[in-house]
């Protein structure tokens, strides 16, 4: 489902229906998403994501990508809100629910969806709106300072999420994780390993043409064994290379990442006063 600028989308959550005016259509070469404003507050800008209809979700890369962006992220942000956790390095959940489609909805009272092709489609709305890493990379503005800050901010977000035992296990091609997936579980370093891939590709590492989990895992094995990732990050920063070495030493082991020590090391290399992680534990 694609929305045009000027159209209004309505979603329904457990409490009420909410309308959003589409102000801009964005595409990061993988996902289409939107900048929208609440009908009741047109001055506010939010990111809006439309998920895959449950009946259309297939185990393909593009569908898994969308599933992690909408359904999985909704679950993570909802759990964090319920536990009173937030971080300035994670999106804030503004709203989530199912799309309200045109016409009469005839879904059964016991649950499920009606025959309308939009019925049951999940919607996620987050804040704040800002420039993404993909935008910066495409504009040629992702250098060593941005890479170190990105690493710091993501580690802080992972630290906050891990405090409530959240592991995202993102298996998109650019965020490939270890073969622990085959056993239905993740090692403690899997999320940090995904971060290393983000940094590698954002810093100019070659993105392989992958079309299967098997191919992704083979690329992963070859890249680490040949130290391609460490070499690429080392061209930019010895600190990022050291972080990649550290993650490599922990992958496949039960040992957790020491987030605090890496936050301190990275913070010393950030050039302004906006340091550290910010966690709100109030209810």
Quote the CA–CA distance of 166 and 169 in Å, as a whole number.
9
Q: Enter the pTM of the model.
A: 0.79
Cα radius of gyration rounded to whole Å, the chain: 20
Give the model's confidence band at 275: pLDDT under 50 very low, under 70 low, under 90 confident, else very high. Answer: very low
The confidence score (pLDDT) of residue 168 equals 59
- Rounded to an integer, the average pLDDT of 128-132 is 87
The confidence score (pLDDT) of residue 164 equals 76
Sequence ranges of the domains in the chain: 8-127, 133-267
Q: Would the pLDDT of 62 be above 60?
A: no
pLDDT digit string (tens) for 85-122? 888 888 899 999 988 876 677 776 656 777 666 777 88
pLDDT digit string (tens) for 106-115? 776 656 777 6
CATH of 8-127, one of 3.30.200, 2.60.40, 3.40.1130, 2.30.29: 3.30.200
**How far apart are the two ends of the chain, measured CA to CA in Å?**
36
In three-state secondary structure terms, 157 is helix
Q: Would the pLDDT of 256 be above 80?
A: yes
On whether the CB atoms of residues 134 and 40 are closer than 8 A, the answer is no
Q: Cβ-count burial of 52 within 10 angstroms (0-12 exposed, 13-18 middle, 19+ buried)? A: buried
Give the helix ranges, DSSP H, for 125-181: 133-138, 144-162
- Rounded to an integer, the average pLDDT of 24-52 is 91
Q: Would the pLDDT of 234 be above 90?
A: yes
pLDDT digit string (tens) for 139-194? 899 999 999 999 999 999 888 888 877 765 544 434 433 333 333 344 566 788 88
Identify whether 260 is preceded by a cis peptide bond (ω within 30 of 0): no
Give the model's confidence band at 57: pLDDT under 50 very low, under 70 low, under 90 confident, else very high. Answer: low
């Amino acid at each position: 489902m694609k929305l045009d600028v000027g159209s209004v989308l309505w979603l329904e959550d457990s409490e009420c229906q909410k309308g959003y005016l589409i102000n801009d259509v964005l595409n990061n070469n993988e996902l289409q998403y939107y900048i929208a404003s609440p009908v009741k507050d047109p001055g506010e800008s939010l990111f809006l994501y439309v998920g895959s209809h449950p009946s259309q979700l297939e185990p393909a890369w593009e569908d898994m990508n969308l599933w992690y962006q909408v359904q999985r992220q909704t679950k993570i942000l909802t759990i964090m809100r319920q536990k009173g956790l937030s971080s300035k390095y994670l999106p804030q959940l503004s709203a989530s629910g199912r799309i309200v489609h045109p016409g009469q909805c005839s879904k059964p009272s016991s649950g499920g969806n009606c025959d309308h092709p939009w019925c049951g489609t999940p919607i996620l709305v987050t804040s704040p709106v800002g420039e993404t890493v993909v935008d910066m990379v495409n504009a040629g503005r992702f250098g060593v300072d941005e890479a170190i800050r990105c690493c710091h901010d993501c580690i802080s977000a992972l630290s906050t999420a891990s405090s409530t035992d959240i592991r995202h296990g993102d298996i998109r091609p650019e965020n490939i994780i270890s073969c622990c997936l085959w056993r239905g579980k993740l090692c403690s370093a899997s999320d940090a390993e995904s971060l290393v891939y983000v940094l590698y590709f954002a810093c100019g590492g070659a993105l392989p043409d992958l079309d299967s989990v098997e191919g992704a895992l083979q690329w992963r094995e070859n890249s680490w064994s040949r130290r391609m990732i460490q070499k690429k990050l080392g061209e930019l920063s010895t600190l990022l290379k050291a972080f990649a070495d550290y993650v490599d030493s922990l992958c496949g082991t039960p040992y957790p990442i020491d987030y605090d020590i890496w936050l301190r090391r990275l913070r010393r290399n950030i050039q302004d006063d906006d340091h550290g992680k910010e966690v709100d534990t109030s209810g």
